[in-house]
Amino acid sequence: MSDVPPWNPPEGSWASSAARRRNMQAIRSRDTKPETLIRRLVHARGLRYRVAARPLPDLRRTADMVFRPAKVAVFIDGCYWHGCPEHYVPPKTNSGYWSEKVLRNVARDRDTDQRLKNAGWLVLRFWEHEPSDACADEIAEVVRRRRVTDDKRA
């Protein structure tokens, strides 16, 4: 038997149990399987990028992939955390907290998109369930097209 006393979450805590807390803390915020697969495919297409970087220095948000010269920011959104219209299922426990959390994430995503757009960036967002090859193809096409357009302006 363990000498560790049972964990009782404080009132208003985000975790409904110690096990849930450990589970939620183990969820990656970067380098997820969909991200790494898409990055590998984009790299294989000859493109280079920054990983988990801030597109704008004064914006405290990071994109999964940043193509600075082309001003393209790529986000691979998780279906649960970003409220996928196809796959998001509200949680059964502590649903008020988690539903609000997802709504805040979606609002922050829209705010990020708008701020980047206002600064001349193109934002590409993909859901984690989308085919990785198709995502990589679209990223490569958009980045190359923007690079060619920038070269013609210079």
Q: Is residue 123 part of a domain?
A: yes
Q: Is residue 52 part of a domain?
A: yes
Q: Is residue 46 part of a domain?
A: yes
pTM over 0.75: yes
Do 118 and 70 touch, CB atoms closer than 8 A? no
Query: What CATH number has the domain bearing residue 90?
Result: 3.40.960.10
Residue-number span of the structural domain to which 117 is assigned: 31-153
Beta-carbon contacts of 140 under 8 Å, excluding residues fewer than 6 positions away, are 42, 45, 46, 47
Domains held by the chain: number: 1
Mind listing the pLDDT tens digit of every residue in the chain (154 residues)? Answer: 445 444 444 455 555 667 756 665 656 567 899 999 999 999 999 999 999 999 999 999 999 999 999 999 999 999 999 999 999 988 888 888 889 999 999 999 999 999 999 999 999 999 999 999 999 999 999 999 999 877 676 6
Q: Is residue 20 part of a domain?
A: no
Cα(144)–Cα(146) distance, integer angstroms: 5
